[in-house]
Amino acid sequence: MEDREIVRGVIVVLPKSYIYKDLIGKRIASKYVNNIEYPIEITHLHYSKLNADNNLIMLVDVLIA
């Protein structure tokens, strides 16, 4: 099994078309996350909000895959 690192308190910005409930436990591209170069898997959602540009801003814990 590969080693995976948990990172807590990561800010993820996604297009509004994503539904955060469907993202828990799934891998998403790192292009939506600052300073992480690998795909991530969201493990826990702390907070989410739509911004003025209709992007989904989330504070989450992630596994780096």
More confident residue, 8 or 27: 8
pTM of model > 0.85: no
Q: How many domains does the chain contain in total?
A: 1
Strand segments (E) across the chain: 5-15, 27-28, 40-50, 55-64
Angstrom distance (rounded) from CA 16 to CA 14: 6
Angstrom distance (rounded) from CA 65 to CA 27: 8
Per-residue pLDDT tens digits for 15-41: 877 766 677 777 877 677 766 777 888
Domain range for 19 is 5-64
C-alpha R_g of the chain: 11
Is 80 exceeded by the pLDDT of residue 11? yes
Angstrom distance (rounded) from CA 30 to CA 10: 11
